[in-house]
Structure 1
Amino acid sequence: MKDSEKVFWDSMKNPAGNHHITAAFNSQSRTSSKLLLCLIFFISFTYLIYSLKLLSSPRLCSDSQPFSSSAVDPLHNLTTTAAISLPTSSQNQTELRHVVFGIAASAKLWEQRKNYIKLWFKPEKMRGTVWLDRKVKIDEDSDELPPIRISGDTSKFAYKNRQGHRSAIRISRIVSETFRLGLKDVRWFVMGDDDTVFVTENLLRVLRKYDHTQYYYIGSLSESHLQNIYFSYSMAYGGGGFAISYPLAEALVKMQDRCIQRYPGLYGSDDRMQACMAELGVPLTKELGFHQYDVYGNLFGLLSAHPIAPFVSLHHLDIVEPIFPNATRLQALDRLKIPMELDSAGLLQQSICYHKSNTWTISVSWGYAIQIFRGILSPREVEMPSRTFLNWYRRADYTAYAFNTRPVARNPCQKAFVFYLSNALQTNSTTGQTVSKYIRHRAPQPACKWKSPSPSSIEFVKVIKKADPKLWERSPRRNCCRVMKSKEKKTLMVEVGICKDGEISEV
């Protein structure tokens, strides 16, 4: 056993020894406590003397700051400087001058489709370029259109898709070619086709939601579920239009030609663009107001039950029927411009209400059409588009849409009475109040045996609505509509506006 261990065990066995050790330890502890108290007293006394000296010393006078007449609060000065250097939100918001359009067009269809561009493009307010595959004749109406340029040579790029056309490569490079023009003060590049019609005020409302200094790829999908499966649910369809922020376009320019070379088997321009977005790691930001309209037939069901989102674009106008009956495609779109100029934010926005005494359901698609149904239909049903259109794939049924739809009513008593926009005007410039008039569409109406009043007694519907340019600055919600008393014969009066507290769509 070690000596130290022996001493320890001896002390444990001898209680008297333990007592001496404890006494020595207690004596040492008392000495340490006295020293600690002395140290605390010394520190406290020193702090007291220092504080008294500081309080008794005179304050700095203004002479100590020879270049200032008063003492300056550095924190206050910093805050004031920051406030001056930062612009207000209204000064900094995105305007049309910050947007550049790149429009894909073909020389073969130019004479016909340039008229769609003239409907929405305003050369004095907007910037953009039409990119053609070859030169076309310049007519007198060229001052109503964007400048025309010929796309660059793409013969060096391989194209191996047997079902498509290699013009897809040319179109996919339009954003990059537009960027290389070197335009100043650009925040967004917006891509569209020559048969795309934009509601530019609503486009701005969408773009203002996003930080243009970050990477954004904004657009929407096809209406066809099969199209989205075949191409991608992560792809913006170019016909409906899509927007790319300036920094993302700058990054795209640096790598797109290499990216395109890696995808010779893709079909179109849209999927090539999405492939490059995937390589850049940028997802699609979906906005429901961009419309590809991959459908055939009548758009009425889609337009009369528009999603609760700004209406941004239409496409495939040569394929679908005119949006108003008894009019050409251009005439119909020109009529839509009337409410667009009065209240673009509210264009095509649906409101649902009920005529209680007549037991009618009323659906208002402001600026476009009104439907009156016999009986009570729930908002859940009315907000679904009725299938007045056909799928892009002719043999596909309603399950091949990428959204919910409802069948057109077969029961003659449930068939809607439709009233199309006739005219609209502003009645009060101070309040922004508008009145729009809708005339009943003279379509064959089958006989109904229900005893409830028939909407056939109504010839006109007038809608009173205040323009609401800040509609999309609030959380998304349908406007409410209310049936009003009318002094005019055969006329139904409806008011549309912000829902009041507690107001919902119910009977």
Structure 2
Amino acid sequence: MPPSSSSPATQSPPSFTLAAALRFALPTSLLLLLFYLLYSPKLLTTTTTNCHDLTASKPEQPVNHGYDLELKHIAFCIAASANLWDSRKEYIKLWWRPGETRGAVWLDHQVEIDYDDDRRNLPEIHISEDTSRFPYTNRQGHRSAIRISRIVSEALRLGLADVRWFVMGDDDTVFVVENVVRVLSRYDDKEFYYVGSSSESHLQNIFFSYSMAYGGGGFAISYPLAMELEKMQDRCIKRYPGLYGSDDRMQACMAELNVPLTKEPGFHQNDIYGNLLGLLSGHPVTPLVSLHHFDIIDPIFPGMERVESLKHLLESAKYDSASIIQQSICYDRKQEWSVLVSWGFAIQIMRGIISPRELESPTRTFINWYKVLDFTAYAFNTRPVAGHPCQQPFVFYVNSTKYDKSRRQIIGIYTYHDDPNPPCPWGIESPEKIHTIVVLKHEDPDRWQKAPRKDCCRVVPSSKEGIMYLWVGHCGQNEIIET
């Protein structure tokens, strides 16, 4: 085959001589030299100036990536049962704000409405669509799970204006609505988001999924994701007749939409029994968004009914919702006491200096969902209740919270829960001589726009017998907790 026309074998070598090279190179060199002489000082000056500007200019301030979310942009979707409505509606009244909150309750049957009270203090009521056409084969569950799983889609079809998020919850779920807004404002509501949290029970998360948002604790779905869910949800539900509940059906559909769970630990399923003191006192450094399962746990304040105790907690939240139940740790070194503050809820004083690493873990004042005393059954670290009589805490619950206008600070009064502690042979003075603790702090509504950090706590000198004063607030420069 003859060589290609582009092959070097067929080309004649170029005619190249020294004279020709000089004729080409000389003018070119002169031009380059002239360019250098004319422009290099300007280039050097420009480069030097730019470098100087970069080193002398102040660093750009960080951009706040929060979104302009307001309470009016959230539609609450509450799953309820007609059989339990008379008692459960009282939980909803605690947090629902007529004229401010939006959304609806979804029931399985019609219920009697008290027009003077219910109409004024509750969301509007809707009856869920018939779901008898969907198969349900789980022998341990109830087919009402199908009805509840479709509430977000039915709420979307109501056509509420200017909704950016749908927040799902049960009729015994209590929300701190300001913190719902704070948490969801972290996310772009134009994107697909499925926000919630897991169970406190490790076994529950294994049986269902660590990737599932538990419906009792509440979860949020952005508007664009709700639109996509509504298009395919009925087909999706038919593919999962064997699932137990509504929230695992929801998560199955999210998996088909390729949307993972975005975890926010402030949503609380409360899959536990007993006393919440340990759990709330060891709350993670994140806003308290919701609490659930109040019919099976003890009232959070001793001596009160369940609804009354929750109302009492939310009274403190009115003064600083961002800080409600946030943990602070400090020490009275003169008395050798460790002090654990859960703002707006409770304060515990313990004899001896106990490290923050130990104190920040929740005490097991509760038992797990399967009513077994097994510390491995929880999905978070816990510590045992003190067995030694000298290590048992003295507990002070919040009595009242008010705002002092003259000093521009919040004042919380905590009183001793008169639960006799056993005798202690240690030489450390007993905290039982304290009957009242006064906590001073400033409102901090923007605390969650900064890097998460606990507040610092300081014991304030007091001349009043039986009264301890504490200050709780931002940590100062180089302020740490040293034991």
Question: TM-score scaled by structure 2?
Answer: 0.88
1:40 to partner: Cα distance = 4.0
- Tell me the distance in 2 between the aligned counterparts of 1:42 and 1:386: 85
| Corresponding residue for residue 480 of structure 1 | 456
Residues 479 and 499 of structure 1 are in contact (CA less than 8 Å); yes or no, is this contact kept in structure 2?
yes
Q: Deviations over 1:248-285 (max 9, x none)?
A: 11110111000000000000001000000000011111
- Taking the TM superposition and a 5 Å limit, the aligned residue runs for 1:94-105 are 94-105=69-80
- In the superposition, relative to structure 1, how do residues 385 and 28 fare at CA in structure 2: closer, same or farther (>3 Å)? closer
User: 4+ runs of 1 displaced by more than 6 Å?
Assistant: 41-44, 88-91
1:160 is aligned to 2:137: yes
| Corresponding residue for residue 66 of structure 1 | none
- Secondary structure in 2 matching 1:342: coil
1:107 to partner: Cα distance = 0.4
Q: Which has the larger radius of gyration?
A: 1
| Corresponding residue for residue 105 of structure 2 | 130
- Secondary structure in 2 matching 1:348: coil
Residues 76 and 104 of structure 2 are in contact (CA less than 8 Å); yes or no, is this contact kept in structure 1?
yes
1:435 is aligned to 2:411: yes
| Corresponding residue for residue 387 of structure 2 | 410
- Relative to its length, the structure with more helix (as a share) is 1
1:501 to partner: Cα distance = 1.1
1:353 to partner: Cα distance = 0.4
1:143 to partner: Cα distance = 1.8
Q: Choose which of 32, 44, 58 in structure 1 pairs with 2:20.
A: 32
| Corresponding residue for residue 342 of structure 2 | 365
Q: Choose which of 442, 445, 452 in structure 2 pairs with 1:466.
A: 442
- Secondary structure in 1 matching 2:172: coil
- Taking the TM superposition and a 5 Å limit, the aligned residue runs for 1:14-25 are none
- Tell me the distance in 2 between the aligned counterparts of 1:419 and 1:41: 89
- Secondary structure in 2 matching 1:239: coil
1:89 to partner: Cα distance = 7.7
Residues 480 and 496 of structure 1 are in contact (CA less than 8 Å); yes or no, is this contact kept in structure 2?
yes
Q: Choose which of 51, 68, 93 in structure 1 pairs with 2:68.
A: 93
- In the superposition, relative to structure 1, how do residues 41 and 235 fare at CA in structure 2: closer, same or farther (>3 Å)? closer
- Taking the TM superposition and a 5 Å limit, the aligned residue runs for 1:140-155 are 140-141=116-117, 142-155=119-132
| Structure 1 counterpart of 2:74, one-letter code | V
Q: Which deviates the most, 98-107 or 486-495? A: 486-495
- Taking the TM superposition and a 5 Å limit, the aligned residue runs for 1:46-445 are 93-139=68-114, 140-141=116-117, 142-395=119-372, 397-428=374-405, 432-445=408-421
Q: Which deviates the most, 136-145 or 416-425? A: 136-145
1:454 is aligned to 2:442: no
Q: Deviations over 1:433-455 (max 9, x none)?
A: 10100000000210001111110
- In the superposition, relative to structure 1, how do residues 352 and 187 fare at CA in structure 2: closer, same or farther (>3 Å)? same
Aligned length: 442
Residues 354 and 506 of structure 1 are in contact (CA less than 8 Å); yes or no, is this contact kept in structure 2?
no
Residues 172 and 269 of structure 1 are in contact (CA less than 8 Å); yes or no, is this contact kept in structure 2?
yes
1:302 to partner: Cα distance = 0.5
Q: Deviations over 1:441-499 (max 9, x none)?
A: 00021000111111011000000010100111111111000001113220000000111
| Structure 1 counterpart of 2:480, one-letter code | I
1:428 to partner: Cα distance = 2.7
1:506 is aligned to 2:482: yes
- In the superposition, relative to structure 1, how do residues 280 and 432 fare at CA in structure 2: closer, same or farther (>3 Å)? farther
Q: Which deviates the most, 270-279 or 482-491? A: 482-491
| Structure 1 counterpart of 2:441, one-letter code | K
Q: Percent identity?
A: 59
Structure 1 gaps, min length 5: 1-24, 48-87
1:31 to partner: Cα distance = 3.0
1:123 to partner: Cα distance = 1.9
| Structure 1 counterpart of 2:108, one-letter code | D
Residues 91 and 172 of structure 2 are in contact (CA less than 8 Å); yes or no, is this contact kept in structure 1?
yes
| Corresponding residue for residue 20 of structure 1 | none
- Tell me the distance in 1 between the aligned counterparts of 2:67 and 2:438: 39
- Tell me the distance in 1 between the aligned counterparts of 2:323 and 2:472: 10
| Structure 2 counterpart of 1:111, one-letter code | D
| Corresponding residue for residue 3 of structure 2 | none
| Structure 2 counterpart of 1:137, one-letter code | E
1:33 to partner: Cα distance = 2.0
- Tell me the distance in 2 between the aligned counterparts of 1:313 and 1:395: 25
- Tell me the distance in 1 between the aligned counterparts of 2:430 and 2:22: 105
1:432 to partner: Cα distance = 4.5
| Structure 2 counterpart of 1:422, one-letter code | N
Structure 2 gaps, min length 5: 1-12, 36-62
- Tell me the distance in 1 between the aligned counterparts of 2:211 and 2:438: 42
- Tell me the distance in 2 between the aligned counterparts of 1:91 and 1:282: 22
1:27 to partner: Cα distance = 9.7
Q: Deviations over 1:364-400 (max 9, x none)?
A: 0000000000001111111111111111002351211
- Tell me the distance in 1 between the aligned counterparts of 2:65 and 2:161: 20
Residues 102 and 189 of structure 1 are in contact (CA less than 8 Å); yes or no, is this contact kept in structure 2?
yes
Residues 266 and 287 of structure 2 are in contact (CA less than 8 Å); yes or no, is this contact kept in structure 1?
yes
| Corresponding residue for residue 468 of structure 2 | 492
- Secondary structure in 1 matching 2:231: helix
- In the superposition, relative to structure 1, how do residues 286 and 41 fare at CA in structure 2: closer, same or farther (>3 Å)? closer
- Secondary structure in 1 matching 2:249: helix
- Tell me the distance in 2 between the aligned counterparts of 1:380 and 1:129: 43
- In the superposition, relative to structure 1, how do residues 26 and 195 fare at CA in structure 2: closer, same or farther (>3 Å)? closer
C-alpha RMSD of the superposition: 2.2
Q: Which deviates the most, 90-99 or 143-152? A: 90-99
Residues 374 and 455 of structure 1 are in contact (CA less than 8 Å); yes or no, is this contact kept in structure 2?
yes
- Tell me the distance in 2 between the aligned counterparts of 1:317 and 1:422: 21
1:204 to partner: Cα distance = 0.7
Residues 77 and 104 of structure 2 are in contact (CA less than 8 Å); yes or no, is this contact kept in structure 1?
yes
